[in-house]
Copies of this chain bind each other. A is one copy, B any other.
């Protein structure tokens, strides 16, 4: 055994059956003979898709594996933010332990890449970042984790936060985050100047939570696009949620979509059923990269979520009224290639030469596999099997 893999009888994207050879952590060929010394795996006619990309979650604060949190939190955004900051201490939410638990759940379900926003605030300081950095080290090779320094409690409204955000980048965070420049920080210009200033100085991508509704969110989006172009950050900026793209004024939405495409600003959606959402097909047709994520999973904000990016593809489909097979395939594309393009992943995909990050799905057709969401038959990361039959081969604390 030399660590290579030879998987027989698999159907890339649901197409014709073939074999796949994995060498040195990459896809070496399709349809070839077994390489001497390779582990031989019977694919059993499974469908192969690229590794699922969990492009927006909050690893540091899931309550997975902890006692059930009885939620009776108030209805406003600020109620949830303030409650969470308090509960972190009261419940003893350990970012290292909790992120490890969610990571193992993600791996079991075929996610090979994760972007996690991680809270940075003046109460908890950098403990979230430190915890998720520890988890990233622990599961290196099993899953790739992209860390966003995220000012969940606001930035300018809480003095000291900006300095912590900068410390987070020095410590190892990959991306600078932001949050509702008007609705939370009450100073859209000030907030975005800080975020983009840090991006410029540290050469890092930007990913901003924008829940602001309709014309207010659109104004923030305009400011984000302006700064993206001014600083030459095309292709490196993501707007997460972007509910404003679901507003009623369709002419305004059309002009925003054109501007996003031109500045190569990406859109991340969790496809929430209860909020306006970015129109996935219109965005993709206009050339905008669209990715998807679970958002928070079983945390103090809400009880839902299970880290299953096939279920997320179904929710993207349901939210966007995708019914046709080509539309279900688009929903899956958002949860695979969309996330990979958003995160600028190198060597992602099923082409020969790509990194061997892929998932075997049981299913008659691609659409059938997505909507049925059966336990994942096999998950391969960097050419190694990391999960089998819905169970990760690594353990959670």
Most buried by B among A67, A273, A304: A273
Q: Which residues of chain A from 302 to 325 have any CB-CB distance to chain B below 8 Å in the complex?
A: 302-304, 314-315, 317-321, 323-325
**B323 contacts A368, CB within 8 Å?**
no
**A314 contacts B318, CB within 8 Å?**
no
Q: A328 at the A/B interface (Cβ < 8 Å)? A: yes
Task: Enumerate chain B residues within 8 angstroms of A298, measured Cβ to Cβ.
Answer: 371
Q: How would residues 232 to 257 of chain A score, 1 for a CB under 8 Å from any chain B CB and 0 otherwise?
A: 00000000000000000000000000
Q: A139 at the A/B interface (Cβ < 8 Å)? A: no
**A315 contacts B68, CB within 8 Å?**
no
Task: Enumerate chain B residues within 8 angstroms of A285, measured Cβ to Cβ.
Answer: none
Shortest C-beta distance, A365 to chain B (Å), equals 5
**B68 contacts A365, CB within 8 Å?**
yes
**B303 contacts A318, CB within 8 Å?**
no
Q: A71 at the A/B interface (Cβ < 8 Å)? A: yes
Which B residue's beta carbon lies closest to that of A320?
A: B274
- Given A302-B323, A321-B274, A323-B301: A368 and B315 interface contact (C-beta under 8 Å): no
Task: Enumerate chain B residues within 8 angstroms of A318, measured Cβ to Cβ.
Answer: 272-274, 304, 315
Shortest C-beta distance, A301 to chain B (Å), equals 7
CA distance A271 to B68 in the complex (A): 26
**B323 contacts A73, CB within 8 Å?**
yes
Which B residue's beta carbon lies closest to that of A366?
A: B68
Q: Which of B67, B73, B325 contacts A72 (CB 8 A)?
A: B325
Q: How would residues 342 to 359 of chain A score, 1 for a CB under 8 Å from any chain B CB and 0 otherwise?
A: 000000000000000000
Q: Which residues of chain A from 329 to 373 have any CB-CB distance to chain B below 8 Å in the complex?
A: 364-365, 367-368, 371
Shortest C-beta distance, A30 to chain B (Å), equals 24
Q: Which residues of chain A from 267 to 313 have any CB-CB distance to chain B below 8 Å in the complex?
A: 271-275, 298, 301-304
| Identical chains in the assembly | 2
Q: A226 at the A/B interface (Cβ < 8 Å)? A: no
- Given A298-B371, A318-B274, A323-B303: A365 and B71 interface contact (C-beta under 8 Å): no
**B364 contacts A68, CB within 8 Å?**
yes
Task: Enumerate chain B residues within 8 angstroms of A303, measured Cβ to Cβ.
Answer: 323, 325, 328, 367-368, 371
Shortest C-beta distance, A186 to chain B (Å), equals 24
Shortest C-beta distance, A291 to chain B (Å), equals 18
**B68 contacts A323, CB within 8 Å?**
no
Q: A140 at the A/B interface (Cβ < 8 Å)? A: no
Shortest C-beta distance, A66 to chain B (Å), equals 10
Q: A82 at the A/B interface (Cβ < 8 Å)? A: no
Q: A70 at the A/B interface (Cβ < 8 Å)? A: yes
Shortest C-beta distance, A70 to chain B (Å), equals 5
Task: Enumerate chain B residues within 8 angstroms of A319, measured Cβ to Cβ.
Answer: 273-274
Given A71-B325, A73-B324, 19 additional A-B pairs, CB 8 A: A67-B364, A68-B365, A68-B367, A71-B367, A72-B326, A271-B273, A272-B318, A273-B315, A273-B318, A274-B319, A274-B320, A275-B321, A298-B371, A301-B323, A303-B367, A303-B368, A303-B371, A304-B314, A304-B318
